[in-house]
Chains A and B, each alone.
Chain A
Amino acid sequence: MASITTRSLIKEYPGGVRGVDEMDVTIHDGEFFALLGPSGCGKTTLLRTIAGLEKSTSGSIKIGDREVTNMEPGQRRVAMVFQDYALFPHMSISDNIAYPLKIQKVAKAERHSRAEEVGDKLSLQGLLERRPGQLSGGQQQRVALARAVTSRPDVFLFDEPLSNLDARLRLEARTFLKKLQLDLGVTTVFVTHDQAEALALADRIAIMRSGKMQQLGTPREVFQRPANTFVASFVGSTSMNLLKGNVADGGVMIGHQKVALPADAVGRVGDGQEITWGARPEYLDISLDPVHGGLEGTVTVSENLGASALITVELTGSGEPVQVVVSEDHEPGIGTRVWVTFEPRRTLLFDAEGLRIGD
């Protein structure tokens, strides 16, 4: 078990593109840590650099108190589960699971019993003599996990391990993964582009963009208090409403409508300052009657989400769309005139650079 620390880590590709740019991050011992971001943001590069599959250009990586920056991947005591699982198609499941032990020159009999033991733990009983090709996607994923577990690593590295599964299986596997990690207590770094997966699984999430860290925090923090507009729009199953406006008279002018200053921003902005006002659709509500401090508009689209509905409201005057999640009982018809309401403490303000105003 070990923590992971990177210091000024840079991975530069030929041509000067930086996959990882000045990364300073500490992943705590036993933590379930997610690397989240759109494709090409460098999260997989960071993971592979930690694994040693990519050589860092400069900076250092420590696992526990071991300096691993220049170590061979095989010496870093890390285990990785690949997106395609990388199960050796020519070996039985048992041999696949025991492969790390084979490298460690563990005797055959013991390898076999360890594989069986791990296989049991991961519900792979009865599959051990098969070949990977004969297994379902979910089973293959568990075999890949089992192989990682067998090597008793200090660190698990998961590269989008759930993305090859269909939606239903993915939820199941997610729960399984979380439980497994809790049981084993091994420091785990998990790369995903799916924010829901990251929110559901991780103790902490690092959100990356163009090789740079955007925000590091608990799921709650990144959801409720995104550091910038990028994080705000990337995290959440519906993205945050972000409306341009400016500060006036202790409030925020969006078009010609005025809303209250978010709680965090009080006292930190001055009149005339250009800002972006943000509010999550889940934290907004609508009223059919005029409400003071609410935003007036007309319903243009309604999308059913099951127990709730996502309503798009076009604001009167500016015509900007605002999305609101309403419970199924309060779904207004298209064309209805509504007022969008909210609690000021649930709203955020971002400055001209897109950084959140407040602490």
Chain B
Amino acid sequence: MPAPAAGTGPSRAVVDDGDVAGLGKARAMAFLAPALLLISLFLVFPALWTLYLGLTNYRLSGSAAKNPQFVGVDNYINALSDDRFFNSLGLTLLFVFGSAVIGQSALGFAIAWTMTRVRKSVRAVVEFFVLLAWIIPSSVTTFLWYAMLDRSNGTLNAMLSTGNTAWLLDYPLQSIIVFNTWVGTAFSMLLFSSALASVPPSQLESARMVGAGAWAQFRDVVFPHIRGHVLTNTLLITLWTFNTFTPYLLTAGGPDDRSNILPIFIYRLALNDGALGQGSAISLIMIIINLVIATVYLRLLKERKS
């Protein structure tokens, strides 16, 4: 690691463009080093180790804990020939699409858009409550929704007069989609709020002057300005939603695996069944899927630009 002082003095190496504060590569690395060190040690290292575990039959207990065997790609073959894995993957994709891409993004955008044209006090109140859902710890929010959706005493049944509908049992996936939308919309709302603030009003006005409707305004004026935000937002919330474990506290993956999204699948595999090797292998598969999705997003947005 070069000492931070190495970069000073008149004989410094060539400065990069964009390097407005005159950091220089050496000092930039020095600034980056503590974070990278922490990340390597407590993130990259365990993560790589996990990937290695995915190649063994390691279990939390039992004889495989004592002498884990290297099994190569067996775990991957098992996963890819397991109906429950594909069931789980399908549910996860529905869950991500429903709660993140549609739910959080669309609702977040709709709220952000509407809030640009209401009174300030209304906006403050709405934003506060949307954010509250996001800030309250997950063990609390899941309990709130458990109470809300309860079959016999739930608030929802009382409100909708839907008798004893067992929401979490009859509509488990829908329930966790709504729940995750409720929890996560705040981030999209915030991001889109600041994105919308960056759209020059003059451009919107000139679009209106030539008679552009709401959709045309969005497509031709708003979207080009917030493209980057849409990308950031979709990318982050997709990753977050893909990896969220919180719905476990609501449905525990059930009933009958009908809300068994991948993080819950892995949790149950790793903790309840103790099959850590298999769980690690599926973690890697999950990361690869995340990677593919991220790449697709980046492509899509780049293409639409050109």
**A/B: CB atoms within 8 Å of each other:** yes
Chain A residues in the interface with B (C-beta under 8 A): 13-14, 53-55, 70-73, 75
Interchain CB contact under 8 A, A72 and B20: no
**A53: contacting residue among B12, B14, B20, CB under 8 A:** B20
B126 in contact (CB, < 8 A) = no
User: What secondary structure prevails in chain B residues at the interface with A?
Assistant: loop
A88 to chain B, nearest CB (A): 14
Inter-chain contacts of B20 with A (CB < 8 A): 53
In the docked arrangement, what's the CA distance between A14 and B14, Å? 13
- Can you list, as one digit per residue, whether each of B14-58 has a CB less than 8 Å from chain A (1) or not (0)? 110100101000000000000000000000000000000000000
A–B Cβ pairs within 8 angstroms, 18 of them = A13-B17, A14-B17, A53-B20, A54-B15, A54-B17, A55-B14, A55-B15, A70-B10, A70-B11, A70-B12, A71-B10, A72-B8, A72-B9, A72-B10, A72-B12, A72-B22, A73-B22, A75-B10
Inter-chain contacts of A14 with B (CB < 8 A): 17
Nearest residue in B to A67 (C-beta to C-beta)?
B10
Inter-chain contacts of A72 with B (CB < 8 A): 8-10, 12, 22
Inter-chain contacts of A73 with B (CB < 8 A): 22
The 7 closest A-B pairs by CB, nearest first: A55-B15, A71-B10, A70-B10, A55-B14, A70-B11, A72-B22, A72-B10
Inter-chain contacts of A75 with B (CB < 8 A): 10
User: What secondary structure prevails in chain A residues at the interface with B?
Assistant: loop
B65 to chain A, nearest CB (A): 55
Contact size range, B = 10 to 19
In the docked arrangement, what's the CA distance between A66 and B10, Å? 12
Inter-chain contacts of B22 with A (CB < 8 A): 72-73
In the docked arrangement, what's the CA distance between A94 and B10, Å? 31
Inter-chain contacts of B15 with A (CB < 8 A): 54-55
B30 to chain A, nearest CB (A): 17
Inter-chain contacts of B17 with A (CB < 8 A): 13-14, 54
Nearest residue in A to B15 (C-beta to C-beta)?
A55
Residue among B10, B11, B14, B17 with max Cβ neighbours from chain A (10 Å): B10
Nearest residue in A to B11 (C-beta to C-beta)?
A70
A37 to chain B, nearest CB (A): 21
In the docked arrangement, what's the CA distance between A348 and B17, Å? 43
A233 to chain B, nearest CB (A): 32
Nearest residue in A to B7 (C-beta to C-beta)?
A72
B70 to chain A, nearest CB (A): 48
Nearest residue in A to B13 (C-beta to C-beta)?
A55
A212 to chain B, nearest CB (A): 21
15 further A-B pairs in the complex, CB-CB below 8 A; given A70-B11, A72-B22, A73-B22: A13-B17, A14-B17, A53-B20, A54-B15, A54-B17, A55-B14, A55-B15, A70-B10, A70-B12, A71-B10, A72-B8, A72-B9, A72-B10, A72-B12, A75-B10
In the docked arrangement, what's the CA distance between A107 and B167, Å? 68
In the docked arrangement, what's the CA distance between A25 and B12, Å? 25
In the docked arrangement, what's the CA distance between A41 and B22, Å? 24
Inter-chain contacts of B12 with A (CB < 8 A): 70, 72
Within 8 A of A (CB), among B162-187: none
Inter-chain contacts of A13 with B (CB < 8 A): 17
Inter-chain contacts of B10 with A (CB < 8 A): 70-72, 75
In the docked arrangement, what's the CA distance between A13 and B12, Å? 19
Nearest residue in B to A55 (C-beta to C-beta)?
B15
Residue among A13, A53, A55 with max Cβ neighbours from chain B (10 Å): A55
In the docked arrangement, what's the CA distance between A73 and B20, Å? 11
B13 to chain A, nearest CB (A): 9
B16 to chain A, nearest CB (A): 9
Inter-chain contacts of B11 with A (CB < 8 A): 70
In the docked arrangement, what's the CA distance between A54 and B11, Å? 15
In the docked arrangement, what's the CA distance between A13 and B17, Å? 9
B164 to chain A, nearest CB (A): 58
A106 to chain B, nearest CB (A): 21
A129 to chain B, nearest CB (A): 28
Inter-chain contacts of A53 with B (CB < 8 A): 20
In the docked arrangement, what's the CA distance between A70 and B15, Å? 10
A13 to chain B, nearest CB (A): 7
Inter-chain contacts of B8 with A (CB < 8 A): 72
In the docked arrangement, what's the CA distance between A71 and B22, Å? 11
In the docked arrangement, what's the CA distance between A112 and B252, Å? 64
In the docked arrangement, what's the CA distance between A75 and B11, Å? 12
In the docked arrangement, what's the CA distance between A70 and B11, Å? 6
Nearest residue in B to A70 (C-beta to C-beta)?
B10
Inter-chain contacts of B9 with A (CB < 8 A): 72
A357 to chain B, nearest CB (A): 42
Nearest residue in B to A73 (C-beta to C-beta)?
B22
